[in-house]
Amino acid sequence: MLLDDFYTGMSFDAYRYFGAHPREDGGKGFQFRVFAPGAEKVELIGDWNGWQGAPMERDTGGIWSTCAEEAQAGQLYKFRVFQKDGRVLDKADPYAFSAELRPKTASRLVGKSSFRFTDAAWVQSRSLRYDEPMNLYELHLGSWRRKSDGSWLSYRELADLLPGYLKENHFTHVEFLPIMEHPFDGSWGYQVSGYFSPTSRYGEPDDLRFLVNTLHEAGVGVLFDFVPAHFVVNDYALANFDGTQLYEYPASDVSYSEWGSCNFNFYRGEVRSFLQSSAAYWIGEFHADGLRVDAVSNVLYWQGQQARGINIGAVDFLKRMNSGLKRLFGNILLIAEDSSNFPKVTAPAEYGGLSFDYKWDMGWMHDTLDYLSLPFEQRRDKYHQLTFSMDYFYRELYLLPFSHDETVHGKKTILDKLYGTYEEKFAQCRALYTYMFTHPGKKLNFMGNELGHFREWDESRELDWELLRYPAHDSFFHFFRELATLYLTSPALYEREYDSACFRWLPTDSAEQETGGVYAYRRTAGGQTLVVVLNFSTKLLEGMKLGCADRTVLHEILNSDDVRWGGSGVTNPAPLASFPIPCHGSPSTVRLHLAPLSAAVFALSSSPAAEQGKAWTVSGGRYMTV
């Protein structure tokens, strides 16, 4: 690492210099370095010296350093910081590679890793998935599954269970909620204290490497949640680190976030280097396939409020960090959790963008769930709340999220948000997920969504796996898997999905006015055309008319009302041929049946009559040549 790069905010490898490292000069023990320019004095304390302060030397740039020959891997340590106002605080190492389990707070010495990755082929084949399916499973490591006594599974125990589950259910990637060290379980990892320390809740750093490697060997990508907006206020961590606002803003009106945590100061080069190096550390040292960057709107705007204006320094930080990570690691995925309308989030920096690869479509998520929470009779007036997503979809590269934030704090789970009776909720949820998996955009679901979870997520206990003993949940679970299979095997649902020519709304017989809940659209790519029809009303649609091209034949390939999934069995088992009656500008019409609160997916083809140049007609829903 070049110190000039560190001070000017250009470093991506500051962790190789700062923190605690086994000595490489032939000596015994560890070399320690910490950046604390505002401190009056800094001492090193640890297991090997009975926690009695050993003086550290300061250079002209505010870096304190020393060697400890007696220090050994596994031992605990801190920096004793003497502030100029007379206070003395024992601080954890900002660049520590491991830490004690909460509520203890010391850093832990880590020797050279003995783990050897075997995922070279996977890493070399990474892509940005633009024309490939991407189905993400968002997971909290401590509450997916637990041991019989209620304790956590370790990284290595998760490696025995998680890859198989993800493959069986056709998830292409897993996205871990923050695995960096944090003091409070209820923050879910979003208030970080150790930006280079895998949380000790589940094991050692090499254990996490083992988990990632195992997932890669199973063909599953791994994303880490990254939190560059804010950090914990605990006095052993970064806050007021050397007696000054070293990592946070000095101005009181922007120093604290809406969560009560400290905002990072993006105008300070050393802070930029710290965060950029943390991002690079997880990708380089743990082979993460990318990062989901949390609370991007709180980075882009002062206090996350557009009315307060754009934070120019923070925007520049995101551009430089993302561009630098791409330069270092190639096709890693950078995904923005951004609820704002800031432009060009997924455009390259050289074109004025932020260089993210994808952006969460929070608008789609809110509009969809708000619409389906409405009483049925109110949906007609909100019809275009569901069509609105396609009005802006091609402005960015969007990912459709049903994340952890939608299953907590009284918001109810995805299933329970939906209006209606127990049976109506399940029927709507099947239709909802048909809509999600056939709507353009990559997919993300929080763990438990696939079970039809009724209880809100609680980080202190595992998912309610016993739900699968009940027919409604078991049927939904298998339907969710069937949808994922359809998504992964249908080029029309992922190839060229960010090309507006590949999506088209289809006309129906005034369903908007009559029911307020019927939608139809076509997806075309990869030599395949699929037609999707949704009925979010309580009306049984018998012989519903759908506008189409001449001599079209529809073959139903999935219906959410199939009895296999717990439905009533209103399906379209025979091929449906069009007949030459115009429908809202389309030259021909197909008639189909659709149960209340259901969805159907059809493969589109031309009739044999069209191919043979013969006349044709329809009888009993089947095509016939005449």
The set of catalytic residues is 294, 337
Which residues are registered as beta bridge partners of 619? Answer: 622
The pair of three-digit structure tokens given for residue 97, joined into one six-digit string = 């590679």
The residue assigned the tokens 């996490």 is 208
Type of residue at 184? F
The residue assigned the tokens 């003995």 is 114
Q: How far apart are CA 349 and CA 188, in angstroms?
A: 31
Which residues are registered as beta bridge partners of 333? Answer: 290
The pair of three-digit structure tokens given for residue 573, joined into one six-digit string = 């088992």
The pair of three-digit structure tokens given for residue 368, joined into one six-digit string = 């969809």
Q: How far apart are CA 339 and CA 229, in angstroms?
A: 14
Which residues are registered as beta bridge partners of 64? Answer: 34, 58
Are 336 and 296 within 8 A, CB to CB?
yes
Long-range contacts of 7-10 (CB under 8 A, 24+ apart): 7/61, 7/269, 7/270, 7/273, 8/269, 9/268, 9/269, 9/270, 9/271, 9/272, 9/273, 9/276, 9/317, 9/320, 10/269, 10/272, 10/273, 10/320
Backbone angles phi, psi at 276, to 5 degrees: -60, -40
Backbone angles phi, psi at 387, to 5 degrees: -85, -15
Closest Cα partner for 404 from 194, 599, 144, 109? 144
Q: How far apart are CA 218 and CA 373, in angstroms?
A: 38
